[in-house]
């Protein structure tokens, strides 16, 4: 990251969420800066999923605040977050296998033909959607033979590419990626990592949730460590070892033992 103070895009303060007697988030804080890849790591039960669900509008916190570009937001649904410019690529991709690539890219956001009569007919502008789909895929350098292919005919990495392209096409602020390389082979994982870098290069901030520590250290500008429902540290992957980061994550290494250069603001 540069020496100039980066712009704070998405911030959470004191986020809490309980499910009966279980505390999923316990006053968690969160900071995401413009143009960065922020990895979120934590053991099972650390509250990663609940945190991401709050940021993406899938869950409403019991208490705490969220700000986007300095403005307070209160997402009641994932659609609210999408309208605000936050897109999420879920681990299950949420693609429609039998539909074409173009249809998947515009699923729920189809472009209608213009003209007075089409206010009533609601005909799709398939030519415009195809043109934009080609442009989105080309911009992210995703090699696809035909936009008319059904998604079910694609490899795992290509399907991930379609899901990422859909999010990058409509995101204005943030793309959240939940375990983007899970169940992918080495070659396809490398393709997805390159894709994430290209999303960042487009000027979007990326939240990366991953259990794959080598991928985290390869991609992340900063690493948010979640433990027992709270953020316990944000570390610099260029100054801390993978072993130490995991030790902090599991509680085997106290925060106080980290040097100043290992910690981020």
pTM of the model: 0.89
Angle between helices 156-170 and 126-139 (to 10 degrees): 110
Q: Domain 8-262's class?
A: alpha beta
Per residue in 103-123, pLDDT tens? 999 988 888 888 877 777 788
pLDDT for residue 138: 85
Domain ranges of the chain: 8-262
pLDDT at site 93: 64
Contact present, 105 and 162 (Cβ < 8 Å): yes
- Residues 33-75 pLDDT 10s: 999 999 999 999 999 999 999 999 999 999 999 999 999 999 9
């Amino acid at each position: 990251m540069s020496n100039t103070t980066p712009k704070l895009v998405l911030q959470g303060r004191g986020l809490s969420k309980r499910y009966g007697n279980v505390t999923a988030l316990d006053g968690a804080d969160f900071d995401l800066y413009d143009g960065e890849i922020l990895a979120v790591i934590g053991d099972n039960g650390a509250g990663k999923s609940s945190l991401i669900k709050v940021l993406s509008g899938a869950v409403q916190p019991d208490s705490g605040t969220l700000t986007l570009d300095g403005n307070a937001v209160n997402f009641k649904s994932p659609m609210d977050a999408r309208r605000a410019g936050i897109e999420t690529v879920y681990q299950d991709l949420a693609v429609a296998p039998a539909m074409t690539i173009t249809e998947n890219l515009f699923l729920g956001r189809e472009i209608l033909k213009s003209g007075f009569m089409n206010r009533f007919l609601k005909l799709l502008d398939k030519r415009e959607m195809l043109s934009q789909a080609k442009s989105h895929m080309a911009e992210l350098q995703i090699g696809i033979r035909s936009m008319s292919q059904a998604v079910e005919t694609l490899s795992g990495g290509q399907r991930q590419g379609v899901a990422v392209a859909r999010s990058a096409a409509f995101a204005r602020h943030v793309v959240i990626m939940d375990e983007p390389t899970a169940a992918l082979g080495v070659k396809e994982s490398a393709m997805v990592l390159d894709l994430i870098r290209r999303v960042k290069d487009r000027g979007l901030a990326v939240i990366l949730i991953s259990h794959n520590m080598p991928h985290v250290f390869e991609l992340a500008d900063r690493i948010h460590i979640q433990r027992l429902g709270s953020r316990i540290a944000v570390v610099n992957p260029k100054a801390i070892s993978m072993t130490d980061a995991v030790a902090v994550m599991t509680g085997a290494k106290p925060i106080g033992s980290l040097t100043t250069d290992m910690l981020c603001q």
